[in-house]
């Protein structure tokens, strides 16, 4: 990842600022679309409580979210600031007001239907699909109530990168995996602008798969570096990649142990 020179930085930043959401004039007053399209991850929160009824509505949106085979293969660990501190010994990320640790969970549905065979990758994929949709339902329900949030892989040792730590700490049984954490709060200030997104024509295809356009990729990477530098000043995209690389081996190992939770049966799957 080559650092940007000042001209590239300014040109890329301009590109980020110019990034627009494309909403047809005929739909611009549609409130659901507005919530969806204007949503941004928020990392700065007021020290103001989210009322219980609002938080319950957020959780209810997840409870009724679409999911494969109506298996509802999820559980949600819910925390206020006190409970988070008590459990993990640290403040909630970004000093948010409420946090939800979203788990993929085959334990519950397996107790209801014992025919589910041990197929760890299918099980894990299904859990991740369902839990991610539930997470997004929470995110959008919160936005609709004026509450902002950010989904997190990394919350110190309590996140997805340290899945086995979380398993021990929260006492997960077999078939339960952390997927992500979301923290919520009333937004403090304005969210950062929209980070650079691929243009629609780059990511859609019809018929056969279309290979990425290298010029678009390069432009995007430069915009990411510029946006990162402008938003965080003391941090860089390169630094963020280093952080990811420092965590990923441990995460990979931990997840293998969690996903293939019956090693003897896993060995038989290869035969």
Q: Is 154 in the site for ligand FMN (CB under 6 A)?
A: yes
The whole-angstrom separation of Cα 148 and Cα 44 is 9
Going from the C-alpha of 138 to that of each of 69, 119, 267, the distances in angstroms are: 20, 28, 38
The whole-angstrom separation of Cα 72 and Cα 188 is 34
> Measured from the CB atom, is 170 or 237 closer to ligand FMN?
237
Nearest to 82 by CA among 97, 67, 102, 104: 97
The whole-angstrom separation of Cα 67 and Cα 73 is 8
Per-residue three-class SS string for 122-182: HHHHHHHHHHHHHHHHHHHHHHHCCCEEEEECCECECCHHHHHHHHHHHCCCCCEEEEEEE
Residue 151 CB, nearest approach to ligand FMN (Å): 4
Instruction: Point out which span in 15-23, 39-47, 72-80, 223-231 binds ligand FMN (CB under 6 A).
Output: 39-47
> Measured from the CB atom, is 116 or 154 closer to ligand FMN?
154
Q: Is 199 in the site for ligand FMN (CB under 6 A)?
A: no
Q: Is 224 in the site for ligand FMN (CB under 6 A)?
A: no
Q: Is 180 in the site for ligand FMN (CB under 6 A)?
A: yes
The whole-angstrom separation of Cα 1 and Cα 225 is 9
Q: Is 13 in the site for ligand FMN (CB under 6 A)?
A: no
> Measured from the CB atom, is 189 or 207 closer to ligand FMN?
189
Residue 27 CB, nearest approach to ligand FMN (Å): 20
Q: Which of 8, 17, 41, 87 binds ligand FMN (CB under 6 A)?
A: 41
Residue 194 CB, nearest approach to ligand FMN (Å): 6
The residues binding ligand FMN (CB under 6 A) are: 40-41, 43, 150-154, 180, 195
């Amino acid at each position: 990842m080559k650092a940007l020179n000042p001209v590239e930085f300014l040109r890329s930043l301009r590109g980020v600022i110019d990034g627009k959401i494309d909403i047809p004039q005929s739909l611009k007053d549609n409130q659901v679309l507005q919530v969806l399209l204007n949503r941004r991850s928020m990392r700065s929160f007021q020290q103001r409580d989210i009322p219980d009824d609002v938080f319950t509505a957020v959780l209810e949106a997840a409870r009724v979210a679409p999911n494969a085979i109506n298996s509802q293969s999820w559980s949600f660990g819910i925390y206020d600031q006190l409970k988070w501190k008590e459990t993990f010994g640290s403040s909630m990320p970004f000093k948010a007001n409420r946090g939800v640790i979203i788990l993929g969970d085959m334990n519950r549905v397996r107790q209801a239907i014992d025919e589910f065979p041990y197929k760890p990758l299918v099980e894990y994929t299904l859990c991740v699909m369902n839990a991610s949709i539930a997470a997004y339902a929470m995110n959008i329900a919160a936005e609709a109530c004026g509450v902002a949030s950010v989904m997190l892989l990394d919350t110190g040792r309590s996140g997805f990168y340290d899945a086995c730590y979380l398993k021990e700490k929260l006492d997960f049984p077999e078939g339960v995996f952390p997927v992500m954490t979301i923290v919520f709060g009333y937004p403090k200030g304005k969210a950062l602008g929209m980070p650079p997104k691929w243009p629609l024509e780059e990511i859609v295809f019809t018929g056969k798969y279309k290979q990425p356009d290298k010029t678009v990729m390069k432009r995007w990477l430069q915009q990411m570096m510029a946006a990162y530098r402008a938003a965080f000043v003391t941090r860089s995209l390169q630094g963020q990649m280093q952080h990811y690389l420092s965590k990923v081996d441990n995460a990979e190992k931990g997840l293998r142990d969690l996903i293939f939770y019956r090693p003897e049966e896993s060995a038989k799957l290869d035969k």
